[in-house]
Structure formats: structure tokens, C-alpha cells
């Protein structure tokens, strides 16, 4: 039986910088930084493969030159977003609080991460359904 999980978000330190434990590959070829200062050491090929917005990621600064690409999303949002770009179980978004689900859905749209669109849409429907439409909550089960 397949059980989706959300990977526990724990930050590690590398060279004095907080680095996401979900996306922190020491042999990465690109470093991204969240708006709250957490580093994501990732691979351009994965970004290009899973996100339409990152096609041509070779144009982004690389960690080899010590340049870092700044993103406008928080580390919590990016941790979840990048989980959809890994060869791992996708996170279960149904239990996410709206305060995290909403910015995640915006990031999914912004970066065109197509694998994350259906789970975000389903979870948003669960959170945003009007009270009088209780019969529609079967979407959440």
C-alpha cells in the first residue's frame, strides 16, 4: 500500500549557512536561497525536467562560482515544492494548513511544477469548499 508522506523539515548547517535537509546535495550544480535565508543545493537537470519555469536553468548562477539564486518563497514552501521534483513519494498535502497550502499553490503555478498541480488543486478544494457543500468533501478521503 502506498502512503504519501511529508518529509520532516529539518535544516542543516553547511559553511555557516542553513541548508534544507530535503534538498541539500553536496554535489549539486545550483544553489537556490529562500527569502528566509535557507539554501537549497539542487540539480539544474531536475529543475529543467520538473518545472517549465526552469527550462534553460544553465542561465542561472551556479554554486560552483559561489553565486546563489534568490527566490521569493519561504523555505517551508520550497521544501514542499522541491519534493515534487525528487524521486521519492510525493508529500500528502491534505493535512496542510491553508497558510502554507496557499503559497505552495502559488509557487506551483509560478514555476509550472505540473506534478504538484493536481495535489494542490485537490487540497485547495478541501480547504476552500463552502460549508453547505459537505457532500463534496469526499474529494479529501
Tally of domains within the chain: 1
Give the pLDDT score at 102: 95
Cα(80)–Cα(58) distance, rounded to whole angstroms? 23
Does 52 map to a domain?
yes
How far from 40 is each of 37, 61, 63, 130, CA to CA, in Å? 10, 13, 10, 37
- The CATH number of whichever domain residue 40 belongs to comes to 3.30.710.10
Q: What pTM was estimated for this model as a whole?
A: 0.74
Residue 33: give the domain boundaries: 11-140
User: Which tens digits make up the pLDDT trace of 50-87?
Assistant: 998 887 655 555 434 457 899 999 999 999 999 999 88
User: Which tens digits make up the pLDDT trace of 93-124?
Assistant: 988 999 999 999 999 999 999 999 999 999 98
Does 4 map to a domain?
no
Higher pLDDT, 134 or 106: 106
Q: Which H, E and C letters describe 36-73, residue by residue?
A: CCCEEEECHHHHHHHCHHHCCHHHCCCHHHCCCEECCC
Amino acid at each position: 500500500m502506498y502512503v504519501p508522506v511529508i518529509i520532516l523539515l529539518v535544516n542543516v548547517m553547511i559553511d555557516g549557512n542553513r541548508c534544507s535537509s530535503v534538498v541539500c546535495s553536496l554535489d549539486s550544480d545550483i544553489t537556490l536561497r529562500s527569502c528566509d535565508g535557507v539554501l537549497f543545493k539542487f540539480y539544474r537537470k531536475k529543475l529543467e525536467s520538473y518545472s517549465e519555469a526552469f527550462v534553460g536553468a544553465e542561465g542561472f548562477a551556479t554554486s560552483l562560482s559561489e553565486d546563489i539564486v534568490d527566490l521569493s518563497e519561504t523555505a517551508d514552501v520550497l521544501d514542499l515544492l522541491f519534493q515534487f521534483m525528487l524521486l521519492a513519494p510525493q508529500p500528502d498535502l491534505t493535512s496542510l494548513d491553508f497558510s502554507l497550502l496557499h503559497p505552495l499553490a502559488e509557487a506551483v503555478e509560478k514555476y509550472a511544477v505540473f506534478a504538484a498541480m493536481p495535489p494542490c488543486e485537490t487540497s485547495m478544494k478541501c480547504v476552500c469548499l463552502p460549508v453547505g457543500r459537505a457532500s463534496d468533501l469526499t474529494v479529501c478521503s
